[in-house]
């Protein structure tokens, strides 16, 4: 039984463009009975037909995703499909037969589709679709490298086949990047490894019920050489930070509304990515934390940002992390459109549809071009903030606390509540959180860098 809320109304394009839900919901069209628009919490919108056949069996047939499939087209197709279902046509029968055939002799592509559903249900981040409906990151990388094997039956693929594909893989359409593609091949290998283990019931999936049912014979990527292991162009952890001149060049572009000079497709008032990058420079958060940041997590009066779920590889569950915002960061947040703060569920830095901010590579390239800088990534901004804090003689443990790394005095609700109580009761006079002091100094330094650049231009 499908777990989805249901409601009836006349579907319109205006409604479909703006609708947002917490839980997957089916909206039934009152104009064409049987047509439904399913909206997920991640923003995906899919048309389907629900109708009953002559035997009394209810059928649900997918039509297409909105807006690729228009509302008018969906209504036209729905009318035809309803007539065919009433006439006895079972659109899903062929799918069931194909699924049964795939069960014993699946191709690599079919195994990937199966594993995507399993991993998505478990909440594995790299196997989740983006807010815009783009395929999961892991699936894109695997297809990019191993795509030529997609239609080959998994039982016919050998370790030698996988090794040959990785050794011959070359990235196309990229300039100014590394001379080899071994890094991408290594990523695809690491993403595909658990998929094949799951299908074969191997490794951590060896226990009954943990892997695919029925299991199938698959090659073992653990036995296939990683081409990045001895690639001299792959140096391991990235340590790139922006220098003073680069920071001065990009700062005037990190504003809201976005500068028209960036020449991106979004209207300046819909593009929050540049100001989000400035926020990262002022507070050093991770990308996901900025993407997930909602107004309910921010207390502008208290000057704090509570990150509800900071992931820690050593913790069984995500932990909370409290940031005492600098005056510069608070000023930035107050400068954003105040009407969005009225709904606490709104993202602080939304995309054009109001969902999580996305498409970082495109805005990064645009800023690099406009600022005449290169070879830096979004995460390098966070690393630069950490480096600036270090140059300001900030205590290493405090920097770790700001970055959200696990420390002996880690943030938790009890600590925050106790801290607020002591402040309000004035048990310790003039108490000021050292995190805010450090981030204020960082904000002052960032402002000084921009002012010095403006003075140079003048």
CATH class of 102-223: mainly alpha
| Dist CA 202 CA 195 (whole Å) | 10
Residue 73 CB partners (closer than 8 Å, separation 6+): 64
Distance of CA 171 to the CA centre of its chain: 23
Q: Side by side, which strands form the sheet with 35-39? A: 5-9, 25-29, 35-39, 45-52, 58-65
pLDDT score at 149? 94
Taking the C-alpha atoms of residue 277 and residue 255, their distance in angstroms, rounded to an integer, is 9
Contact 398, 254 (CB under 8 A): no
Enumerate the domain spans of the chain: 5-91, 102-223, 244-457
Asked if residues 154 and 108 have their Cβ atoms less than 8 Å apart, the reply is yes
What is the model's pLDDT at position 424?
Answer: 62
Q: Cα(208)–Cα(290) distance, rounded to whole angstroms? A: 39
CATH 3.40.50.1860 for the 244-457 domain, yes or no: no
- Tell me, what's the pLDDT at 89? 82
- CATH number of the structural domain 5-91: 3.30.160.390
pLDDT of residue 458: 41
The Cα–Cα gap between 277 and 248 comes to: 14
Give the pLDDT of residue 308: 80
Tell me the C-alpha distance between 70 and 63, whole Å.
10
Q: What is the pLDDT along the chain (458 residues), one digit of tens a residue?
A: 345 567 889 999 999 999 998 888 999 999 999 999 999 888 889 999 999 888 888 888 899 999 989 999 999 999 999 998 888 887 777 666 666 555 668 899 999 998 998 888 888 888 988 767 788 899 999 999 999 999 999 989 999 999 999 988 876 544 444 555 678 888 899 999 999 999 999 988 988 888 988 889 999 998 888 877 666 555 555 678 999 999 999 999 999 999 999 988 889 999 999 999 999 999 999 988 999 999 999 999 999 999 887 655 444 455 688 999 999 999 999 999 999 999 999 999 999 889 988 888 889 999 999 999 988 988 899 999 999 999 999 999 999 999 988 654 445 556 556 666 665 666 555 667 899 999 999 999 999 988 765 544 44
Here the tokens at position 447 are 């402002």
Q: Are 436 and 325 spatial neighbours (Cβ–Cβ below 8 Å)?
A: yes
Parallel, antiparallel, or unpaired for β 45-52 and 35-39? antiparallel
Phi, psi of 134 (to 5 degrees): -70, 145
Buried b (16+ CB within 10 A) or exposed e, 350-361: bbbebbbbbbbe
In sequence order, what are the residues at sequence separation of 6 or more whose Cβ sits closer than 8 angstroms to the Cβ of residue 175?
A: none
Residues with Cβ within 8 Å of residue 89, at least 6 apart in sequence: 53
Bridge partners (DSSP) of residue 47 are 37, 64
Confidence (pLDDT) at 451: 75
Residue 148: Cβ within 10 Å count? 13
Phi, psi of 343 (to 5 degrees): -105, 110
* pTM, 2 dp: 0.53
């Amino acid at each position: 039984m499908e777990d989805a809320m249901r409601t009836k109304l006349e579907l319109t394009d205006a409604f479909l463009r703006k609708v947002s839900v917490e839980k997957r919901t089916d909206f039934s069209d009152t104009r064409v009975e049987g047509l439904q628009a399913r909206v997920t919490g991640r923003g995906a919108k899919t048309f389907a037909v629900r109708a009953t056949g002559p035997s009394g069996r209810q059928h649900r047939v997918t039509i297409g995703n909105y807006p690729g499939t228009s509302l008018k087209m969906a209504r036209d197709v729905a009318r035809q499909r309803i007539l065919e279902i009433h006439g006895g046509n079972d659109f899903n029968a062929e799918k069931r037969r194909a699924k049964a055939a795939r069960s014993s002799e699946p191709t690599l592509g079919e195994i990937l589709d199966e594993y995507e559903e399993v991993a998505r249900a478990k909440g594995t981040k790299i196997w989740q679709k983006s807010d815009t409906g783009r395929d999961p990151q892991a699936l894109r990388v695997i297809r990019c490298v191993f795509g030529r094997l997609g239609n080959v039956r998994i039982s016919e693929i050998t370790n030698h086949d996988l090794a040959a594909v990785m050794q011959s893989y070359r990235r196309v359409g990229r300039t100014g990047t590394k001379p080899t593609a071994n890094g991408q091949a290594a990523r695809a290998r690491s993403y595909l490894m658990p998929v094949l283990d799951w299908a074969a019931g191997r490794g951590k999936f060896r226990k009954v019920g943990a892997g695919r049912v029925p299991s199938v014979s698959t090659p073992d990527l653990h036995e296939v050489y990683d081409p990045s292991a001895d690639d001299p162009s792959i140096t391991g952890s990235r340590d790139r930070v922006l220098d003073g001149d680069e920071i001065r060049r990009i700062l005037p572009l990190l504003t809201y509304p976005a500068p028209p000079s960036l020449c991106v497709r979004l209207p300046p008032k819909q593009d929050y990515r540049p100001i989000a990058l400035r926020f990262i420079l002022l507070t050093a958060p991770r990308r996901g934390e900025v993407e997930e940041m909602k107004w309910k997590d921010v207390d502008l009066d208290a000057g704090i940002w509570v990150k509800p779920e900071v992931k820690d590889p050593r913790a069984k569950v995500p932990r909370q992390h409290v940031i005492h915002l600098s005056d510069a960061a608070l000023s930035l947040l107050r400068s954003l459109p105040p009407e969005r703060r009225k709904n606490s569920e709104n993202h602080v830095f939304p995309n054009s549809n109001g969902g999580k901010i996305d498409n970082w590579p495109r805005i990064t390239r645009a800023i690099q071009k406009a600022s005449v800088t290169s070879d830096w990534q979004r995460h390098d901004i966070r690393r630069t903030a950490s480096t600036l804090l270090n140059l300001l003689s900030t205590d290493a443990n405090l920097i770790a606390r700001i970055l959200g790394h696990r420390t002996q005095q880690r943030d938790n609700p009890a600590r925050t509540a106790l801290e607020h109580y002591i402040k309000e009761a004035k048990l310790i006079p003039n108490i000021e959180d050292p995190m805010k002091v450090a981030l204020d100094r960082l904000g002052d330094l960032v402002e000084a860098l921009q002012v010095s650049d403006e003075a140079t231009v003048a």
